[in-house]
Amino acid sequence: MHVYDNPVISGFHPDPSVCRVGDDYYLVCSSFEYFPGLPLFHSKDLVHWEQLGNVLDRPGQLPLPLPGSKASGGLYAPTIRHHDGLFWVINTNVDGGGNFVVSAERPEGPWSDPVWIDLTGIDPDLAWEEDGTCWCAFSGSEGGVNLARIDPVKGEVLEGPFAIWSGSGLKYPEAPHLYRIGDWWYLLIAEGGTERGHSVSMARSRSPRGPWEGAPANPLLSHSGTDRSIQNTGHADLVQAPDGSWWMVLLGVRPRGFTPDVHVLGRETFLTPVEWDEDGWPVVAPVPDSHTAPGGAWHPVADPSAREDFHGASLAPHWISPFVRTEGSWSLTERPGWLVLSATGPTLDRPGYTFVGRRQQHHDCRVTAVIDPGTGRGGLGVRLDEAHHYELEAGDGEVGVVARIGPLRQTVARRPVPAGPLHLTVTIRTSRLVPASPELTDGGTTGPDTIAFWLDDPDAPDAEPLAELDGRYLSTEVACGFTGRVIGMYAIEGAVAFDWFEYAPVPSV
Whichever domain contains 87, its CATH number is 2.115.10.20
Mean pLDDT for the chain overall? 94
Q: Which amino acid is at 96?
A: G
User: Within this chain, do residues 495 and 422 fall inside the same structural domain, yes or no?
Assistant: yes
Q: What is the mean pLDDT of residues 351-358?
A: 96
Q: What is the mean pLDDT of residues 265-281?
A: 97
User: Within this chain, do residues 266 and 326 fall inside the same structural domain, yes or no?
Assistant: no
Confidence band for 141, pLDDT divided at 50, 70 and 90: confident
Burial of 101 (C-beta count, 10 Å sphere; 0-12/13-18/19+): buried
Residue 220: inside a domain:
yes
Domain termination residue (choose one: 230, 259, 292) = 292
Residue 212: inside a domain:
yes
Residue 296 pLDDT: 81
Q: Give the total number of structural domains in the chain.
A: 2
Nearest to residue 505, comparing CAs of 424, 429, 454? 429
User: Within this chain, do residues 277 and 311 fall inside the same structural domain, yes or no?
Assistant: no
**pLDDT per residue as tens digits for the range 465-482:** 999 999 999 999 999 999
User: Within this chain, do residues 390 and 484 fall inside the same structural domain, yes or no?
Assistant: yes
Does residue 392 register a pLDDT over 70?
yes
Residues 347/404, Cβ–Cβ less than 8 Å: no
Residue 366 pLDDT: 97
Q: Measured between alpha carbons, how far is residue 164 from residues 117, 151, 205 in Å?
A: 19, 20, 10
Residue 441 pLDDT: 59
- Residue 411 maps to which CATH number? 2.60.120.200
Q: Collapse the DSSP code of 59 into the 3-class scheme (helix H, G, I; strand E, B; otherwise coil) and give the result.
A: helix
This prediction has a pTM of 0.96
Residue 301: inside a domain:
no
Active site residue 385: no
User: Within this chain, do residues 337 and 476 fall inside the same structural domain, yes or no?
Assistant: yes
Residues 374/493, Cβ–Cβ less than 8 Å: no
Q: Measured between alpha carbons, how far is residue 170 from residues 120, 193, 447 in Å?
A: 22, 8, 31
Nearest to residue 301, comparing CAs of 89, 8, 502? 8
User: Which one is catalytic: 125, 174, 191, 308?
Assistant: 174
- Residue 364, CB half-sphere, CA atoms under 13 Å: how many? 9
Using the 8-state DSSP alphabet, how is residue 396 labeled? T
User: Within this chain, do residues 264 and 313 fall inside the same structural domain, yes or no?
Assistant: no
Q: What's the domain range around 240?
A: 3-292
User: Within this chain, do residues 39 and 156 fall inside the same structural domain, yes or no?
Assistant: yes
Residue 297: inside a domain:
no
Q: 292-321: buried (b, 16+ CB within 10 Å) or exposed (e) per residue?
A: ebbeeeeeeeeebeeebebeeeebebbbbb
**pLDDT per residue as tens digits for the range 11-60:** 999 999 999 999 999 999 999 999 999 999 999 999 999 999 999 999 88
Residue 136: inside a domain:
yes
Residue 64 pLDDT: 62
Domain termination residue (choose one: 292, 316, 334) = 292
Residue 303 pLDDT: 67
Domain termination residue (choose one: 231, 260, 292) = 292
User: Within this chain, do residues 107 and 254 fall inside the same structural domain, yes or no?
Assistant: yes
User: Within this chain, do residues 387 and 461 fall inside the same structural domain, yes or no?
Assistant: yes
User: Within this chain, do residues 282 and 331 fall inside the same structural domain, yes or no?
Assistant: no
Residue 302: inside a domain:
no
Active site residue 468: no
Strands (DSSP E) contained in 174-215 are 174-181, 184-191, 199-205, 213-214
Q: Between 1 and 373, where is the model more confident?
A: 373
Residue 265: inside a domain:
yes
Residues 362/485, Cβ–Cβ less than 8 Å: no
User: Within this chain, do residues 174 and 240 fall inside the same structural domain, yes or no?
Assistant: yes
Residue 394: inside a domain:
yes
Distance from C-alpha of 411 to C-alpha of 50, rounded to nearest angstrom: 39
Residues 264/474, Cβ–Cβ less than 8 Å: yes
**pLDDT per residue as tens digits for the range 51-92:** 999 999 998 888 766 556 789 999 999 999 999 999 999 999
Distance from C-alpha of 426 to C-alpha of 366, rounded to nearest angstrom: 6
User: Within this chain, do residues 162 and 203 fall inside the same structural domain, yes or no?
Assistant: yes
